[in-house]
């Protein structure tokens, strides 16, 4: 019995090693992607990966989305970080950009700052990936 198991083990080892010694070439199917209207050598079933964040950012472009931006995003506008940005976030969501001027308790100076920056803002429906939890106000910006 020992002899048979040794012979079997040696045979398995030899057959396994044969794969390393011989010339093996893996042939991939040459998929003609031009017939599908695709000009790059990708699989016909592969589609570009998109997610909700990418879709939302494509809509917003270079504007600050008042319903989905976090506090750190308000740094780029003078006089808005952190106090005015926090007020905007706490009073969201907004139906239009002009709704930020209706926040109760704004000073005249804060209204002027908002008025000067209205063209830099946009409003899109709130998206859970941006506003879930405590992330909008506490973004880890402690400098």
Give the chain as a 3 state SS string: CHHHHHHHHHHHHHHHHHHHHCCCCCCCCCCCHHHHCCCCCCCCCCCCCCCHHHHHHHHHCCCEECCCCCHHHHHHCCCCCCHHHHHHHHCCCCCCHHHHHHCCCCCHHHHHHHHHHHHHEECCCCCHHHHCCCCCCCCCCCC
Average pLDDT over residues 90-96: 95
Sequence ranges of the domains in the chain:
52-137
pLDDT for 102-136, tens place per residue? 999 999 999 999 999 999 999 999 988 787 776 77
State residue 12's pLDDT score. Answer: 81
State residue 113's pLDDT score. Answer: 96
Average pLDDT over residues 69-80: 92
State residue 123's pLDDT score. Answer: 94
Provide the b/e sequence for 99-123 (b: ≥16 CB within 10 Å). ebeebeebeeebeebbeebeeebbb
pLDDT for 23-60, tens place per residue? 555 555 555 545 555 555 555 556 667 677 677 676 67
Closest CA to 63 of 119, 20, 19: 119
Global confidence as pTM: 0.59
Find out whether 130 and 56 touch, Cβ atoms under 8 Å. Answer: yes
Q: Give whichever of 12-16, 44-48, 57-61, 96-100 has the largest mean pLDDT.
A: 96-100
Average pLDDT over residues 52-69: 80
State residue 40's pLDDT score. Answer: 53
């Amino acid at each position: 019995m020992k002899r048979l198991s040794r012979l079997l083990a040696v045979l398995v080892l030899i057959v396994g090693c044969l794969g390393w010694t011989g010339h093996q070439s893996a042939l991939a199917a040459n998929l003609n992607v031009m017939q599908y209207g695709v000009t790059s050598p990708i699989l016909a079933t592969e589609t570009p990966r998109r997610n909700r964040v990418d879709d939302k950012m494509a809509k917003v472009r270079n504007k600050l989305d008042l319903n989905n931006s976090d506090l750190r995003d308000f740094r780029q506008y003078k006089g808005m970080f952190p106090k005015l940005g926090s007020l905007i976030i706490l009073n969201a969501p907004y139906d239009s950009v002009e709704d930020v001027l209706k926040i109760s308790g704004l000073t005249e100076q804060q209204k002027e700052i908002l008025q000067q920056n209205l063209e830099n803002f946009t409003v899109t429906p709130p998206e859970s990936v941006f506003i879930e939890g405590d992330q909008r106000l506490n973004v880890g910006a402690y400098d």
